Amino acid sequence: MLKDGQVATRIPVQDLDRARRFYADKLGLEPSEERPGGLLYRCASGEFSLFESAGSSPGTFTQMGWWVDDVEATVAELKARGVAFEEVDLPGLRTVDGIAEVAGNYPSKGGKGERAAWFRDVDGNMFGIGEPIA
């Protein structure tokens, strides 16, 4: 049953108005729909929603990601809007100017890996941006 369903991500936020401003001003995203306590965003492929919650994510893992054609240009544009990118220096994973090369990729995605970057929203939710390496 679930394999035929559409995947939609839900992101908890503490203050919906503050989150809306961040997503608009910093990410250039506007909600396509809203309801009391929630905002729905649609991207080229897929959707996600923000919901007002007393709980929060620990922000210690990637909760959602976007595939882009040019990770460097996307990171540069978001940095110009004031988005701060995570700097990582772990065995096998190191960012340079906010971008890391990640070895390996899913066979259906092709390529030999991806270039990736991570940032957090105003509530500490962590998001990733990836570009396949051919």
The residues near 23 (Cβ < 8 Å, ≥ 6 apart) are 29, 30, 31, 39, 41, 50, 121
- What residues are paired with 51 via a beta bridge? 12, 38
Q: How far apart are CA 9 and CA 98, in angstroms?
A: 24
Can you give the pTM of this predicted structure?
Answer: 0.91
Residue 32 is predicted with a pLDDT of 97
Residue 134 is predicted with a pLDDT of 78
Residue 76 is predicted with a pLDDT of 97
Q: Which of 95, 70, 68, 94 is nearest to 84 (CA)?
A: 95
Would you give per-residue pLDDT tens digits along the chain (134 residues)?
A: 888 888 899 999 999 999 999 999 999 999 999 999 999 999 998 899 999 999 888 888 999 999 999 999 999 999 999 999 999 998 988 999 999 998 886 766 777 889 999 999 999 999 999 998 87
Q: Give the number of residues written for the chain.
A: 134
| 119 three-state secondary structure | strand
Residue 38 has φ and ψ, to the nearest 5°, of -155, 150
Q: Do 125 and 131 form a contact (C-beta atoms < 8 A)?
A: no
